[in-house]
Amino acid sequence: AQSVTQLGSHVSVSEGALVLLRCNYSSSVPPYLFWYVQYPNQGLQLLLKYTSAATLVKGINGFEAEFKKSETSFHLTKPSAHMSDAAEYFCAVTTDNTDKLIFGTGTRLQVFP
Amino acid sequence: DTAVSQTPKYLVTQMGNDKSIKCEQNLGHDTMYWYKQDSKKFLKIMFSYNNKELIINETVPNRFSPKSPDKAHLNLHINSLELGDSAVYFCASSLDRGELFFGEGSRLTVL
């Protein structure tokens, strides 16, 4: 069975600072990995996805993530935080042999002026 | 034009009542899902349907019954509501594996 672990339930950064949200995965078969964002009182929105092509994946709103098999990680980064980035971020995993998308416990990103 | 729409957005009801949540998607996707998000924001899949056929049925109490009249609709009926059913229920649809489009959620409060 596959799973993801998000380290840090809360991350706070200043506007303009680097954003780093951590995600480690566990999967016995090649994983497909995703980052989703949830703004207050809204549904989740796909930020980016890794599906065994390029290991560095670029997403919307300036976010990117790098798949590192040796570290079983898929951390999300953004060079410069904006106030509008404040939200809950979820890492998720699935594989070729299931339709089930498993979510991590989420990381709340706060951005201070 | 909303891609995945759920109604109602809010439900407040008493324990023991029955309630339904409706979901419709206009994206032409074959697969639809119900997810439950608890008060700690944890998201858990409940059901998925592919073209009206039940594919995933997690260990959900049988008080929860999904129904898909066609591939654009997936409804959720809950019997004999309990306090622990209070949560936000999200409907989603997908075309490619893992790429889900979510509705805005239906917040259920059981008193």
Per-residue pLDDT tens for A34-82?
999 999 989 999 999 998 778 999 999 999 999 999 999 999 999 999 9
CA distance A49 to B11: 33
pLDDT confidence of residue A65 = 97
pLDDT confidence of residue A69 = 93
Residue of chain A nearest B99, judged by CA positions: A46
Q: What is the distance of C-alpha B64 from the center of its chain?
A: 10
For the record, the structure tokens of B70 come out as 């066609």
pLDDT confidence of residue A52 = 79
pLDDT confidence of residue B87 = 97
User: Per the CB < 8 Å rule, is A42 touching B100?
Assistant: no
Task: Report the mean per-residue pLDDT for chain B.
Answer: 93
pLDDT confidence of residue A11 = 97
CA distance B34 to A78: 31
Percent of all residues in chain B with a pLDDT value above 90, rounded to a whole number: 84
User: Per the CB < 8 Å rule, is A46 touching B99?
Assistant: yes
Nearest chain A Cα distance for residue B56, angstroms: 8
State yes or no: pLDDT of B60 exceeds 90: no
For the record, the structure tokens of A111 come out as 């951005």
Indicate the pairing of strand B10-13 with strand B106-110. Answer: parallel
Task: Choose the mutation target among B33, B102, B104, B106 for the interface with A, i.e. most A CBs under 10 Å.
Answer: B102
All residues of chain B having their beta carbon less than 8 Å from the beta carbon of residue A42 are 104-105
CA distances to A2, A75, A91, B26, B84 from B111, in Å: 36, 40, 32, 34, 10
Nearest chain A Cα distance for residue B103, angstroms: 6
Burial of B52 (0-12, 13-18, 19+ CB in 10 A): middle
State yes or no: pLDDT of A97 exceeds 80: no
Determine the average pLDDT of the residues in B2-18: 95
Give the total residue count for chain B: 111
User: Of the candidates B43, B55, B98, which has its C-beta nearest A32's C-beta?
Assistant: B98
pLDDT confidence of residue B56 = 86
pLDDT confidence of residue B1 = 67
Q: pLDDT by residue (tens digit) across B76-99?
A: 999 999 999 999 999 999 988 889
Nearest chain B Cα distance for residue A45, angstroms: 7
All residues of chain B having their beta carbon less than 8 Å from the beta carbon of residue A90 are 43
Residue of chain A nearest B43, judged by CA positions: A103
